[in-house]
Structure 1
Amino acid sequence: MTERALRPLTEEEYLALEGESPLRHELVGGIPYAMAGASLDHNLLVTNLVALLRPLARAKGCRVYSETVKLRLAEDTFYYPDVMVVCGPKAHPLYETAPCLVVEVLSPSTEAQDRREKLARYLRLPSLEGYLLLESEGRGGTLYRKTAEGFVEEPLEESFALPCLGGRLSLADLYEGVA
């Protein structure tokens, strides 16, 4: 096995790696991290959410992306959000940069990263109006909604107003078919 020095990748090196790799990697501080697979309930929750968001996004001229689209936060930081909504022009053929809504489905292996690292980074995005965290083991979650004073943390109620797209979502619809 050939040794390779560990060093931060440039944006170009990372995009080339992702174009050739059968695995997806998030890039944090220039270091690529392979992503784990998701459970069936995780995938179903993402699918339900995309189906519910699509008509609202379409009505506003926005796009809904799920799981395989990169979000560039900085030259050395890219994530693959579970779901994101973008209402402006496409930033690049391989990634987006200005979502108005980002959603992560929590799992035991990603919850700490989603609640700390990603929360801190996502809330710095000027375009972001909401960051939604959904429980995969249980039913519920947290919405960080942008206000004039900054982001406020709201536990999800049975029905909740959606930032960015308007409208309301219900937990019953989100969790339909999820164990």
Structure 2
Amino acid sequence: MTERALRPLTEEEYLALERESPLRHELLEGIPYAMAGAGLDHNLIVTNLVALLKPLARAKGCRVYSETVKLKLSEDTFYYPDVMVVCGPKAHPLYETAPCLVVEVLSPSTEAQDWREKLSRYLRLPSLLGYLILESERPGGRLYRRTPEGFQEEALGEVLHLPCLEGPVPLDAIYEGVA
């Protein structure tokens, strides 16, 4: 373990680490955590979703990012969401800060983190209108949608109507080709 890993990193140190490292790291309260690789089905779900969201986002002047773009939640916390949609100006050349939609695809190694840690942190983002959690082993998941009363949890139906984007997203198209 390097000396740098023994103490919390500053934002500048973290961004430098990410530039130099062959591995991606998420930063949680200043501590970097190497990210595990994703399985084929996980990657296919992300790819399908990006392909489905891209035309909807383009029509609204928004951008869709996948897996390799950082989301800065605070000075000492950065994640790499599986998918995020941002409709405002770019925040920084290396990260975004104000997504309207964030999507995580569950995997055995990240499921607890996505349900607990990321859920509570993402829902604090003022710009966020929806957090979608997708199962990786079968079609399904949950959508947390912002309402005037706060975030409401919704089960997924056959067609998703995601916050900040207009247009239907068929659940079976998200899972096309997934075993």
TM-score range, shorter chain: over 0.9
How far apart, CA to CA, are the structure 2 residues paired with 1:152 and 1:169? Answer: 19
Work out whether 1:121 is the aligned partner of 2:118: no
- Cα RMSD for the two superposed structures: 1.0
Q: Residue in 2 aligned with 1:165? A: 165
Q: Residue in 1 aligned with 2:60? A: 60
Deviations, residues 150-169 of structure 1 (Å, cap 9, x unaligned)? 00000101112111112121
Q: Which amino acid aligns with 2:111?
A: E
SS at match of 1:116: helix
1:16-35 aligned within 5 A: 16-35=16-35
How far apart, CA to CA, are the structure 2 residues paired with 1:53 and 1:129? Answer: 15
Q: Which amino acid aligns with 2:51?
A: A
1:3 CA drift (Å): 5.8
SS at match of 2:12: helix
1:4 CA drift (Å): 2.2
Q: Residue in 2 aligned with 1:174? A: 174
Which segments of 5 or more consecutive residues in structure 2 lack a partner in the other structure?
A: none
1:77 CA drift (Å): 0.1
Instruction: Between 83-92 and 169-178, report the one with greater CA deviation.
Output: 169-178
How far apart, CA to CA, are the structure 2 residues paired with 1:160 and 1:122? Answer: 20
1:52 CA drift (Å): 0.2
What is the aligned-residue identity percentage?
Answer: 81
Q: Residue in 2 aligned with 1:47? A: 47
1:139 CA drift (Å): 1.1
Distance verdict in 2 for CA 1:177–1:9, change over 3 Å: same
How far apart, CA to CA, are the structure 2 residues paired with 1:114 and 1:157? Answer: 21
Q: Which amino acid aligns with 2:152?
A: V
Q: Residue in 2 aligned with 1:4? A: 3
How far apart, CA to CA, are the structure 1 residues paired with 2:2 and 2:77? Answer: 24
Q: Residue in 2 aligned with 1:88? A: 88
How far apart, CA to CA, are the structure 2 residues paired with 1:155 and 1:108? Answer: 21
Q: Which amino acid aligns with 2:98?
A: A
How far apart, CA to CA, are the structure 1 residues paired with 2:125 and 2:162? Answer: 18
Q: Residue in 1 aligned with 2:131? A: 131
SS at match of 1:128: coil
Q: Residue in 2 aligned with 1:15? A: 15
Q: Which amino acid aligns with 2:125?
A: L
How far apart, CA to CA, are the structure 2 residues paired with 1:134 and 1:3? Answer: 35
Deviations, residues 65-112 of structure 1 (Å, cap 9, x unaligned)? 000000000000000000000000000000000000000000111011
SS at match of 2:3: coil
Deviations, residues 114-168 of structure 1 (Å, cap 9, x unaligned)? 0000000000000000000000011111000000000000010111211111212
How far apart, CA to CA, are the structure 1 residues paired with 2:50 and 2:159? Answer: 17
How far apart, CA to CA, are the structure 1 residues paired with 2:161 and 2:47? Answer: 19
